[in-house]
Amino acid sequence: MTSFRIRPAADTEYPAIGALTHAAYTHDYDDLPENYRRELKHPEALADTFTFFVAEDTATGALIGTVAILKPGHDMHGEIGPDELYFRLLATHPDARGRGVGIALTEFAVEQALARGARAVVLNSGPDMLGAHALYRKLGFSRRSEREGVIELPDGRTLELLTFVRDLAA
């Protein structure tokens, strides 16, 4: 098994990040709305508010995982507190599963939160993402139903967004 390193993404890597994220999400979830599938392919659309990090296979240079962390000063329309770190689009390429990439990227987000002096790490997840939920629970996150809600999708369907939080020691 080869190792990997986590580093900031380069602007030129957005197409590869989009392909990786799309491959990961569509591998696991059959019923993703078409607009969301398109959004997954274009992480550059979030570059003003999120910083992207990648897990790079050190032997091949291939991107095998990614995560997007909300930049300081942004609050997701009041959903994220100034003392919280929010991340999304955690993805491990299907061919790299089982190497600890998802765990490492999640722990990386926690380390970033600690470096910022945040008191908590927050993320949202869809109700069908059971594998991700198990990972989050394993890493100390718990559901916070009081922060959850339903969003309407462009195709008219609704989606319940689950919220997971990991409180950090003071």
- Residue 145 parent element (H or E): none
Tokens of 5: 């390193």
Asked, for residue 21, whether it belongs to a domain, the answer is: yes
What total of structural domains would you count in the chain?
A: 1
Tens of pLDDT along the chain (170 residues) come to 569 999 999 999 999 999 999 999 888 777 777 878 889 999 999 999 999 999 999 999 999 999 999 999 999 888 999 999 999 999 999 999 999 999 999 999 999 999 999 999 999 988 888 889 999 999 999 999 999 888 776 677 777 789 999 999 75
| Domain-embedded: residue 139 | no
Q: Is residue 29 part of a domain?
A: yes
Asked, for residue 149, whether it belongs to a domain, the answer is no
Whether the pTM exceeds 0.85: the reply is: yes
Number of Cβ within 10 Å of residue 77's Cβ equals: 6
Q: Does a structural domain hold residue 90?
A: yes
Residue range(s) defining the domain that contains residue 67: 4-119
In the structure encoding, which two tokens stand for residue 63, read together?
């991107």
We report the CATH number of the domain holding residue 12 as: 3.40.630.30
In-domain check, residue 154:
no
The answer to whether residue 159 sits within a structural domain is no
- Inside any domain, residue 55: yes
